[in-house]
């Protein structure tokens, strides 16, 4: 059933949704205080709001349909803005961003494909590996904030590697839950998916990111 968002406009004034929206002005404050000691507590506030809004929604019984849309939207928007501001400080090649956003790019493509799978975009649920990628992305952004180039390089590769398994996780989930036939039900079939996706990741690294990988290994040596 379609949702009339004009009727949901008043939901913006709930405490959890105000916390969600507060990430954007906090980001602007961060930009203003970059390269000062204030950048660290402001960044910590931005990170804290990522989980605080959901906790408040449950605690205050203020979960709303608007909040269900705003929370992930602001998560992605603020993460994109943070990387856009922080990544250039590391002087790394933009190829590293492919590692950082690999999982997010796949989720976007999967969301666009849901009509073909007779499902809704909201049926795409976060997996444990997906949440691990999100946490590692925050670690990478901390390294960018410092900035510490070797730590950024290493964390980017870690994000990319875990993203490969997270993508396989979503492929298995989509095959099992979002198709009529129900693909990848057997463990052996799921294992093949993980192996194929990770081999594709290795191949892409070999073709496009081998120089960056060598630079990371040299920096850590």
Q: Are 136 and 159 in contact (CB under 8 A)?
A: yes
Q: How confident is the model at residue 7 (pLDDT cuts 50, 70, 90)?
A: low
Range 16-36 average pLDDT: 91
What pLDDT band is residue 187 in, cutting at 50, 70 and 90? confident
The whole-angstrom separation of Cα 62 and Cα 17 is 9
Burial of 2 (C-beta count, 10 Å sphere; 0-12/13-18/19+): exposed
Specify the pLDDT at position 144: 95
Alpha-carbon distance of 18 to 139, in angstroms, equals 25
Q: pLDDT (tens digit, 9 = 90+) per residue, 40-99? A: 999 999 988 888 887 888 888 877 777 777 777 888 889 999 999 999 999 888 889 999
* Tokens read off for 198: 């990770």
Burial class (CB in 10 A: 0-12, 13-18, 19+), 176: middle
The DSSP result for 144-197, as a single string, is HHTT-HHHHHHHHHHHHHHHHHHHHHHHHHHHHHSSSS-TT-SHHHHHHHHHHH
Q: Is the dihedral of CA 82, 143, 166, 198 positive or negative?
A: positive
User: What is the number of helices (H) and of strands (E) in the chain?
Assistant: 10, 0
Q: At what angle do helices 210-220 and 149-177 cross, to 10 degrees?
A: 130
Place of tokens 């949901």: 8
Separation between Cα atoms, residue 9 and residue 140, nearest integer Å:
35
Give the tens place of pLDDT for each residue, 91-126: 888 889 999 998 888 887 776 666 555 555 555 566
Residue located via tokens 């204030």: 38
pTM of model > 0.85: no
SS3 (DSSP) at 112:
helix
């Amino acid at each position: 059933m379609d949702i009339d968002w004009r009727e949901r406009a008043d939901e913006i004034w709930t405490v959890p949704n105000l916390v969600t929206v507060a990430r954007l002005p906090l980001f602007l404050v961060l930009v203003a205080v970059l390269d000062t000691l204030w950048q660290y507590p402001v960044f910590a506030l931005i990170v804290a709001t990522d989980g605080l809004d959901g906790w408040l929604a449950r605690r205050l019984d203020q979960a709303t349909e608007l909040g269900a849309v705003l929370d992930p939207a602001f998560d992605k928007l603020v993460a994109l803005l943070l990387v856009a501001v922080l990544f250039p400080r590391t002087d790394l090649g933009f190829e590293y961003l492919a590692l950082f956003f690999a999982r997010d790019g796949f989720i976007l493509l999967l969301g666009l494909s849901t009509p073909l799978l007779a499902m809704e975009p909201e049926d795409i649920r976060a997996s444990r590996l997906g949440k691990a990628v999100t946490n590692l992305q925050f670690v990478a952004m901390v390294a960018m904030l410092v900035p510490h180039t070797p730590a950024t390089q290493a964390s980017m590769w870690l994000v990319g590697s875990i993203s490969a398994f997270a993508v396989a996780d979503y492929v298995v989930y989509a095959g099992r839950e979002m198709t009529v036939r129900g693909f990848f039900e057997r463990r052996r079939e799921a294992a093949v998916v993980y192996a194929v996706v990770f081999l594709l990741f290795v191949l892409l690294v070999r073709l496009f990111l081998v120089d960056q990988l060598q630079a990371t290994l040299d920096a850590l040596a």
